[in-house]
A = this chain, B = another copy of it.
Amino acid sequence: MIEGSAFVAAPLGGMTLAQLGADVIRFDDIGGGLDYQRWPLAPGGQSLFWAGMNKGKRSVSVNLRSEAGRELVTGLVAKAGNLITNFPARGWLSYERMREHRPDLVMVALTGNRDGTSEVDYTVNPATGFPLASGPRNLAEPANSLMPTWDVAMGGLTATGLLAADRHRSRTGEGQLIGLALSDVAFAMVGHLGRVAEAQLGGRDQDKDGNYLYGAFGHDFATADGRRVMVVALTSRQWNALREVTGQQKAFDQIAKATGLDLDTESGRYEGRDLIAAILRPWFGARTLAELRELFDGTGVSWGPYQTFTQLVADDPRCSEASPMWETVEHPGVGSYLMPGTPLEFSGLPRQPVRRAPLLGEHTEEVLSEVLGLTTAEIGRLEQEGTVAVSVPPDR
């Protein structure tokens, strides 16, 4: 599979498939694409983002402004039969042109908007409605998401769309172009979650509500040792367990009596969330995280501690080599660190070792030779004329 990409969605789509065993060849302009310097950075300045989003791929460096470079990419696409790109799918990179060389091509073309105009996660998120309904109650500004949620959703649909079209091709012999726009991904999800219908039928917007859950009980609490936990009572089982373990049944009964709220329903717990939180706050504040863990363990209480990124890596066994998903792998020039494989556990297929991201252009020579059958002399000529780069850039 060939990938011409930058940033999150397209690289994530490709990497999801690479981690399932696909041979994914990412091509980049010589010197690196738009995401080659993307933060977070390693202490030495290399992009940990790039290294994170391209694990298990092969990298080919090509001068994309040259005719000869474009022909090489076209040749790779013709051989592979699958292309994922968020580059403008026009001209030489259009589906029509690519298809001339591979009639059953499956191509996923990612765009910002359906009309081809640009949009990134951080500009479409404000339009979804979520930032204006997020953050503390008294906050005047919207609260953006640090997580590129819509890009992540788009990466998932990219992999799904490619596999669906591959399935269709295996049955009919026919390839196709799959268009996917970031704003469609985002707004469709707003609809799936019921927010479009709510706005249309109810006509009112949700107010900012801090860390409360919408439509049931959920809130964060400080602990006696300066930590913080999130507690959720979405289901009856979770609510009953929370009442029982905290021993606050009487207090909750009194709330119910005083307010007329039925706390055995999600809506009742939502309406009474401030009172519920007020009763629970001192109980949590009198206990340490370790004590809470012991009290809640094995009960039906739905809860979890807040962790910084550093605490996640230092304290949480689910993010460590104790889990088969994680391996410590060396990325040349950067160092050894924990890298995740796919979260998908296939019972019939052994887990693949976690493969690091390539260095930029690490596989140019290998791919041109293996896939396109070029000789060493031909590759040398291409390198000399600046069409490809076969050596990796020096460490910074």
Contacts and interface: CB of A to CB of B under 8 A. Distances in A.
B304 A34 contact: no
Contacts of A164: 20, 163, 344, 346
Interface stretch (A48-56, A64-72, A280-288, A378-386): A48-56
A277 to B, nearest CB: 12
A309 B180 CA distance: 22
B309 A40 contact: no
A329 B299 CA distance: 43
A353 interface: no
B147 A149 contact: yes
A261 interface: no
Contacts of A344: 157, 160-161, 164, 178-180
B156 A310 contact: no
Interface string A132-169: 11111001011111111100110111011101111110
Which range holds the interface residue count of chain A? 35 or more
Interface stretch (A23-31, A76-84, A120-128, A361-369): A120-128
Given A152-B149, A181-B343, A197-B48, A348 B303 contact: no
A319 interface: yes
Contacts of A265: 37
A338 B132 CA distance: 21
A310 B345 contact: no
A119 interface: yes
Contacts of A92: none
A342 B190 CA distance: 13
B144 A211 contact: yes
Given A325-B188, A335-B201, A215 B39 contact: yes
A340 interface: yes
A255 interface: no
A358 interface: no
Contacts of A146: 130, 133-134, 214
B145 A147 contact: yes
Contacts of A311: 129
A201 B346 contact: no
A48 B198 contact: yes
Contacts of A153: 152-153, 156
A195 B135 contact: no
A334 B204 CA distance: 17
Contacts of A178: 344-347
Nearest to A318: B183
A144 B195 CA distance: 18
16 contacts: A38-B266, A51-B197, A114-B325, A126-B306, A128-B307, A132-B306, A143-B211, A144-B220, A156-B157, A163-B164, A165-B348, A181-B343, A183-B318, A184-B325, A185-B343, A196-B337
**Interface pairs A-B: 4 shortest CB-CB:** A156-B156, A39-B215, A176-B348, A48-B194
Given A37-B265, A39-B216, A184-B323, 7 more contacts: A34-B234, A51-B197, A141-B210, A146-B214, A157-B343, A192-B340, A203-B310
